Amino acid sequence: MNEPVIDLTSINAVVFDTDGVVTDTARGHAAAWKHVFDAFLRGRSEPFDIRYDYLRHVDGRPRLDGIRAFLGARGITLPEGSPEDEPGAATVHGLGLAKDEIFMGQVEKYGVAAFPSTVALLHELRQRGARTAAVSASLHGRKLVTSAGVMRLFDLLVDGNDAALMNLPGKPDPALFLEAARRLALPAARVAVVDAALPGVEAGRKGAFGLVVAVAREGAAAAELRAAGAEVVVSDLAELMIRGKVPPV
């Protein structure tokens, strides 16, 4: 296992996934998904298991992709429907709209918190000359990062709105991470990615990034994250050390 270090003599920028890495929102997402899926699955299948189903099928994927992946794993096929469906309708869009309604209701009521260790790491990276970017599959990515009060710590953000405009595929495809690297004007080999979800770690490996760091918070299996392509696995970013400085241009 590699030492938990980012060496800034070879890595010049770090791209952070948002949910579960920057913002403490993964639990809210998981709870919203459980509420929606359990209501739909009643009489059809076993309840949604946060520790298994969320991590393997939903976490880190665009909302509709997560629905398709989870239902596919249960052998259930639904019509796609449309964005005009009623929230909770028995369509892919209907379930997605219900989840979004519940999750954003939580955000409006309780706000969004950033992980203190991530904030400290971002400050240190920038003090040492590294560039930073945030990536989110969510259409609300910018709102969540702004609500957490940390947008100023990133040079740029690529979220679900950018993905929709540019027709970028979701993780485990590396397109979102690669777009962030492109906007930073750096080759992937000079960029580290940090993610907490299996599809995001796999995306980092597929994109041939210089370093793939996984955050194995509660419920996440470090062994699975390593198998997906993580070179460094930590339980919290406070464990990650920074070495050196980015050489001046």
Q: What residues act catalytically? A: 17, 19
CB 119 within 8 A of CB 102: no
Contacts of 167 (CB under 8 A, 6+ apart): none
Tokens of 208: 């041939």
Q: How far apart are CA 110 and CA 59, in angstroms?
A: 21
Q: Which residues pair with 14 in a beta bridge?
A: 132, 192
Prior bond to 79 cis, omega within 30? no
Q: Among the residues of 156-196, which ranges form H helices?
A: 160-166, 175-183
Q: Which of 179, 104, 199 is nearest to 144 (CA)?
A: 104
Record the tokens describing residue 148, joined without a space: 């957490």
Long-range Cβ pairs for the range 66-72 (8 Å, 24+): 66/33, 67/92, 67/95, 67/96, 68/92, 70/37
Name the strand (E) or helix (H) holding 16. Answer: strand 13-17
Strands (E), 69-169: 131-135, 156-158
